[in-house]
Chains A and B, each alone.
Chain A
Amino acid sequence: MAKNVRTMALMQADSLLERARAGDAAAKGKLVSLWYKRIYNFSYKFFYDHDLASEVAQKTFISMHHHLAALQEVEKFKSWLYTIAVNCCREELRRRKRRGTAISLTDLGTDREESLRWEATSARYENPERAYRQVELGDLLQQCLMELSDEQREVVIMKEYEGLKFREIAEALQVSENTVKSRMYYGLTALKEILEKRNITKETIGYD
């Protein structure tokens, strides 16, 4: 039964992509609504900034709209879309570096009110105290992620939060699979040290 449902979902996704490639505006709109949350969250974790994440997500889908017809292999749509998102992120990074407005941790997470961050999470429906601690922890982890190099951060986010396989990440970043695994290994090792330095362990945060 679950296999059949999965097969049907995949067939539907393929059909949607084919229609979008043929220029069906409704199908493209559906693709955007399906993938927006993923691309936004990828960009958000990469920049830790809502405005930049929104901008990158918007650019990614505009680019998708213009170049979807040229996509040859429909089955590689996911990695193709992340390629666009990564390129948009890198372009934004370069632009900010040119302007001398590189992202620093002191800029991040401080210009937003606590209530906004709180409302932006689904945790608000749970136990308030626990949910608030969850938000705090999220912020801490996000700051730790921001201490990684861009390349390591891309890989860690894609693997851990976007659920891409190493092969898909390699396709998206246009590097070898071993390079991806190496970046992941060094990223995790660096994160371990950062977390230890900040004394964030499963014991200190009550992680199960």
Chain B
Amino acid sequence: MTKADESKWMDYLGGEMDARARADFEAYLAQHPEERQQVNALRNVLGLLGSLHDKEVIAPPLPVAPAPRATNRWLSGPLKTMMGMAASLLVLLVAAHLLGMQINHADGRWQITFRQQPKQPATGQSLTKDEVASLVAHALAQQQVAFDKRLQQRDRDWQRELEKTLAASNAKIDGLIKNNTVGTQQQVQAFVAGLQEQNLKTMQQYLQLSNKEQNKYVENLLVDFAKYLQEQRHQDLQFLQARVQTVEKNTDELKQETEQILASIISGGGVEKSN
């Protein structure tokens, strides 16, 4: 068994062989029963391994801290300590300089001194109580005058500002009222126009309906009148027919009487005889 064979066997059993290579290898195995048997034995091992299943687990919450930041190696270990000490020393030196610290060595003694603050020179003059009161009163009066001036100036400023603000507000209100009025007029006009249009439509609909109703009424009236005329005519005809029949009957009777009279006249003597 060479390494190449091992690789080929593993590709075959691991399902990592393409279709053509697989077919070639199976053809080769068909011709070499001994190797086929060995390959099948390993395949059986894989089949048995398939009986070992996964455990069912649920991922627990992991205690994950934020990822550590990349640290500068120059600022770690002993170097970091030395840098810290150097920085502390620097701070001490600066503080000593600012405080004017001096270290002296004399007579075998060390002495640490700090710079003394320069004393304020004394004025040498003193004021009496009345002068001080007068100065205070004068200062207060000046302060009062200045305060009154500032107050008056501020009042004037406020007055101007107020007037300006009022004028601006009035202008804005007028503008708004004007806009509002214009808006209201336009709205009324639009409303009236809409109302008129609606009325017109309603009237048109009413007239159309009214016309239809009138036409229908007139039509019905005409039909009724025609029926009445027809009925009247029918009755008149019946009346006339009855009258005609009566006249005919009378005429016939008169004719018969006339004929009888004539017959009697013609016979002559009969009447005289009968008389």
Binding site for B on A (CB under 8 A): 23, 28, 32-33, 36-37, 40-41, 44-45, 50, 54, 58, 61-62, 65-66, 69, 120-123, 134, 137-138, 141-142, 145, 156, 159-161, 165-166, 178, 181-182, 184-185, 188-189, 191-192, 195, 200-202, 205, 207
Contacts and interface: CB of A to CB of B under 8 A. Distances in A.
A131 to B, nearest CB: 10
B57 A36 contact: yes
Contacts of B129: none
Most chain A beta-carbon contacts within 10 A, residue among B3, B45, B46: B45
B7 A178 contact: yes
A32 B62 CA distance: 9
B6 A58 contact: no
Interface of B: 3, 6-7, 9-11, 13-14, 16, 41-42, 44-60, 62-64, 67-68
B57 A37 contact: yes
A181 B57 contact: no
Contact of A181 (B11, B45, B49): B11
7 contacts: A62-B63, A122-B53, A137-B51, A145-B52, A161-B54, A185-B9, A202-B48
A57 B90 CA distance: 50
A166 B68 contact: no
B100 to A, nearest CB: 53
Contact of A40 (B11, B55, B63): B55
Contact of A182 (B3, B62, B67): B3
Given A166-B16, A178-B3, A120 B59 contact: no
B16 A41 contact: no
A205 B55 CA distance: 21
A61 B51 contact: no
B57 A189 contact: no
Given A37-B57, A61-B62, A195 B48 contact: yes
Given A40-B55, A134-B53, A181-B7, A200 B46 contact: no
B104 to A, nearest CB: 58
Contacts of B14: 159, 165-166, 184
Contacts, number: 109
A142 B52 contact: yes
B78 to A, nearest CB: 26
B68 A66 contact: yes
Given A121-B56, A138-B53, A166-B16, A207 B48 contact: yes
A37 B60 CA distance: 10
Contacts of B47: 202, 207
B55 A32 contact: no
A65 B59 contact: no
Contacts of A188: 13, 42, 45-46
Nearest to B1: A185
Contact of B56 (A122, A159, A189, A200): A122
Contact of A41 (B11, B13, B54): B54
Contacts of A36: 57-59
Contacts of B51: 134, 137-138, 141, 205, 207
B52 A161 contact: yes
A162 to B, nearest CB: 10
A121 B53 contact: yes
B48 A200 contact: yes
Given A137-B51, A184-B14, A192-B45, A65 B67 contact: yes
Contacts of B10: 166, 181, 184-185
Nearest to B50: A160
**Nearest 5 pairs between A and B by C-beta?**
A36-B59, A181-B10, A185-B6, A141-B52, A41-B54
Nearest to B41: A192
Contacts of B7: 178, 181-182
Contacts of B68: 66
Contacts of A69: 67
B55 A202 contact: no
A62 B9 contact: no
Nearest to B56: A122
A200 B46 CA distance: 13
A64 to B, nearest CB: 9
Contacts of B49: 141, 145, 156, 160-161, 191
